[in-house]
């Protein structure tokens, strides 16, 4: 199931990254720029590579990207204006989406992944 979720998110990241180059604001809601789009494309590609490398790589991807997207969300909520660290555009919709993605990735990387590996006790 984790593999399926990360694969879907990887494909969505790739599609959103490409779509962002021709549609800004993306879907009429999300502020994007070239760097933001490139980050989405790289995120999607890395997600698909991680999935192809197996469960351990997928879990590591989820952990790292959960932390990264969580930090980006916090920065987005705390920083004034529509720029994250002066590098790329992000509005409130982006910040909320980054938070949701962080929660999903952190759950897959730390929460659910660990419980399925623990031996069962009677």
> Does residue 94 sit within a domain?
yes
Block means of pLDDT (10 residues each) for the chain, 122 residues, are 94 96 87 92 98 96 97 93 87 95 96 51 38
The per-residue pLDDT for 116 is 47
* Residue 121 within any structural domain of the chain: no
**pLDDT on residue 114:** 52
Count of domains observed in the chain = 1
Instruction: Find the domain containing 89 and state its range.
Output: 2-115
In whole angstroms, how large is the CA radius of gyration of the chain?
15
């Amino acid at each position: 199931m984790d593999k399926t979720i990360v694969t879907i998110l990887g494909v969505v990241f790739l599609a959103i990254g490409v779509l962002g180059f021709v549609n800004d604001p993306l879907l009429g809601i999300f502020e994007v720029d070239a760097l933001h789009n490139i980050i989405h494309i790289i995120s999607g590609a890395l997600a698909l590579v991680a999935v192809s490398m197996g469960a351990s790589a997928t879990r590591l991807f989820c952990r790292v990207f959960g932390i990264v997207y969580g930090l980006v969300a916090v920065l987005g909520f705390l920083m004034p204006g529509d720029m994250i660290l002066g590098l790329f555009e992000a509005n409130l919709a982006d910040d909320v989406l980054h938070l949701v993605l962080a929660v999903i990735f952190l759950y897959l990387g730390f929460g659910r992944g660990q419980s399925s590996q623990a031996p069962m006790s009677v």
